[in-house]
Structure 1
Amino acid sequence: MLTMEMFRALPGSVAREMERFDWGQTSIGPVETWPAALLTTMRLVLSSRQPMCFWWGEDLLQFHNDAYLPMLSGRANALAQPFRQYWSDVWDGVEPFVIKALAGEGTWIENLPLNMVRNGCPEETYWTFSYSPLYGDDGRVAGLLNVVTETTAAVRDRRALEEAYTVARAHLDQQQKHEEELKLLNRELAHRMKNTLAMVQSIISQSLRNATSIPEAAATIGGRIQTLAKAQDVLTGMSVTAAEISAIARTAVAPHVDAENRVLIDGPQVYLSAQQALGLSLAIHELATNATKYGALSVPQGQVRLSWDQQPDQGFTFDWRESGGPMVIEPSRRGFGSRLTERVVSDLFNGTAGIRFEPEGVSFSLVGKLQDAADLER
């Protein structure tokens, strides 16, 4: 016959608690009546240093070892408590595994999230565990064994590592984006220097062609080159938060205007952010440069019309149209300036932009959005 003496041979504080417990008041009865299978399982669990517990009998009363005590974390009096009642806060999460184990099927799950009450407060926890059926002396399932490891800290650490990786990846992506933008700006600088030299040459040739004297030509050339320098300041040194579009347009085309009505500018008062103003200045600069070299501004009778409009909900349209110039033939490939103009402007205005090589003249259209006026300093 079994007696309380058997508990004294087992290690740990839980064995001492079981020795003092009144088992006769439970559904499994006094210790002296326990089946050999229950006794064997109890000895196995209490002797293990792996966190383990098991539930036995019709009420699935709980047994556990000392290594399992940290899992309780503020939950008192777990010994001999019915599984479903004592663990009611997590029952819905573990019930499917309990049902399988009681049906004779072992289960295993990794990092199962359970919202568990600890120290009186709900806490998100994670568990890796197995439920295995336990058999009584008659060969029928009498309970289930739980071999468990709490993985809450590991899951949180992994989550923090993933978040740190995401932040680091974003920083690296941003750095790569800045490097790409720097390369683009360097290419644009080299391209603009070549265009500037071409513009200087064009200004000199046009001024000499139309001048009646050398002093007049010298004065005209000096004034136009000075205007070109101001346009370059708009393109490279703009520091204002908000810029009115007509000033941007007039400054950008000024070096290319060699006669009255050569460039017509029309549109309402519209304020652009510094970035949008710089981008549109770049587009006008590229278009005017090409018009002076190859298009409407390369011949005395050519003309360019710039127009824009503001639409509801910060909508914005801009058009450049050339007329009266040489017959336009679409180039077999797009130059760097054309690609840059379309790409940069469309991105800055969150819209679409495109150059069209129509027989009667080159045209450029932009449909996009203005930055919120509340963000601009007038």
Structure 2
Amino acid sequence: MYQDRDLKIRFSANLPQSWAGQDELTGKTDSALFGDTQAAVISIAKREVLASGQPEKLEILRDMDQDRHWFMLHIDPDFDADGNVVGVLTTILDIDDVKYRETILKTLLRELSHRSKNLLAIIQSIASQTARYSEDLDGFLVAFRSRIQSMAHSQDLVTASDWRGAELFALVESQLEPLVGQNSARFGMSGEDAYLFPNAALHLGLALHELTVDSLAKGALGPAGGAIELSSEQIAGDGNGPELVVTWTETFASAPESNGADGAKPGFSGTVLGRIVPQALSASVRHETTRDRMIYQLTIPNSQFELHLRR
């Protein structure tokens, strides 16, 4: 579109069919194309080009007739033989796709920032709690690295799903395999698989890690011998929708070392299993140990999962 020094339109071509044609635009200003409000902004940019002789770019939202679209205006000066600026040539490009991608990217970056802060808060908590219950630096480093690796396995599943979450049984396998290998004869899973949302996947993964480490140290996967069954079942909730009951049951071949009458485990593991994970998942917890078995059970509200498939 070409305009003279008074910004009167003298020529236009290749405008969208829904816009006014060249015959209607000749002699008019940008108001005929963009409306008075946006035309005032455009006019300032074009008069700057007329004064300086330097090209300008301008993003503008055209919202005439309820038809909202973003455009990029490339405004170039037109010189006469003596080097005087006698008009401006404007190339108008539709940038709706670019603006849409920018909006999506900004949303993703805000979400990434939010989730990164959550992860850092969890890591900070793990570091401080691990240090609290460690007897020396070497012990702290071994336990802390193991717990961070556990989080990394859960995070890999969440990331692979584009941050939608992780399948329960896949999460369990990701936590046990590094510690006990694949297809352990002492471990089985049954019941209803579920799709855990990101927060639930990260925290439940941490609980599964602590349960596995404890079992290797003194439970069914270690000196006590026996077997473990992880089961999941959907039950009717208390009016706020269904709930998922996830139960870790260790059946001992011989009585393990006592952890107290209530079965609560001391140290960081007890804090994770009894307080951190239930609070993060808004879940109720049952944790009991007898001479022949240990049960750790979480009843998880439907705000943390959706039913996925039956195994």
* Bigger relative CO (Cα 8 Å, ≥ 6 apart): 2
Structure with greater proportional helix content: 1
Please report the TM-score for the alignment, with normalisation by the length of structure 1. 0.39
Larger radius of gyration: 1
Return the structure number with greater strand share.
Answer: 2
**Structure-2-length-normalised TM-score:** 0.46
